[in-house]
Amino acid sequence: TLAVPWFPKSRGKVIGFVMAGMGFSSTVFLPVQTALINPGNIAPIQSNSTLGNKTAFFESPDVLDRVPTSLLWLALIYGILLGFGILVCTEKPNPNKSTAKKSSKLKDIKEAFLYLKNKGLKSRELYILFLIRFLLITLGAGIFSHWKTFSLLLSSDDRLLSMIGGIGGILNSLSRFVVGIFLDRYNFGVVMLVQFVILAADMFSIYWVGHQSFPGFCVLILLAYFLSFTHFSTVPAQILKLYPGKHNSIILGAVGLSDSFGFAALAILNKLLFTGKSSQHFLIFFSVLGAFAVIAAVLALFVRETTEDKDATENGTNNKVNGAANHAFEMSRGS
């Protein structure tokens, strides 16, 4: 949200542009990871379990021995980029804001929690957006974690799959910005409904298409990359719209807690499906993700465009009543 005050009339585009950086990262780092870990493009080993599950893993020492060193190099690269980003971040100056003292900071924190209690927790939008983000975090993380594992059953070319992931990163980055533009022009529910319905169809069909056509699978996984991560732009933008003011960051934080629950849900799914007795674990997995997209689409329809409608109506009615009463009182005094 640091960039939003600089462009208050374009929340969706600004957040989409900022979050596009996170989507673009896979375009850069997937080929880098492959070059560090598997420069020889060694194919994984496929095997069948007693339950009929097909699996594919890298077992070559030439690949496995490179993992620890590669993690150190990646940590160094991430640390340099993160440090540079922190150094260049600049908060928009507020001329009406005096130098904050420690006591005023503590007061702001207390006011923020009161805002969460009195405003956020009493509005249905907070809970709906929390559930939407929870569902989409689980869905997106599931795709990101397992698409390559599934694709290795369809193709053993690791470099080709890394290239597909890189293209997916470009689409992932572009989608956050594009959806942000749409969100500035159309209702949240409409934008979310369209993309979630398409995403659900994608998830329900990707398993079957993958076993029939590898190019068809590639198209569907790229479409999933384009649609699965837009909530990183749309949900924060909608929160800033619904809860204007200096304390909306605590609403963002409250909704952001859903990320932890989403990753926990994915861990449970992994435990149940990929270590259980199911012989069709990928089919069930993608079907569950499709169901999550359907539920998110339905929930998005119940998100209002503003939480101030009711208050504004009531205030307007009260003002009219008070105005009429004052006018009658003045007329009586004049007569």
Q: Grade residue 179 by pLDDT with cuts at 50, 70 and 90.
A: confident
Looking at residue 89, what is its pLDDT? 76
Given a cut of 90, whether residue 295 has pLDDT beyond it is yes
Given a cut of 90, whether residue 157 has pLDDT beyond it is no
> Which has the higher per-residue pLDDT, 263 or 171?
263
> Which has the higher per-residue pLDDT, 278 or 209?
209
Q: What is the pLDDT of residues 50-99, one digit of tens each?
A: 444 556 667 778 778 888 888 888 888 888 888 888 887 777 776 655 55
Q: SS3 for 279-324, per residue? A: CCHHHHHHHHHHHHHHHHHHHHCCCCCCCCHHHHHHHHHHHHHHHH
Q: What is the pTM of this model?
A: 0.68
Looking at residue 97, what is its pLDDT? 55
Looking at residue 15, what is its pLDDT? 65
Average pLDDT of the segment spanning 224-244: 86
CA distance 180 to 48: 44
Tokens of residue 301, six digits: 């329809």
The DSSP symbol for 48 reads: E
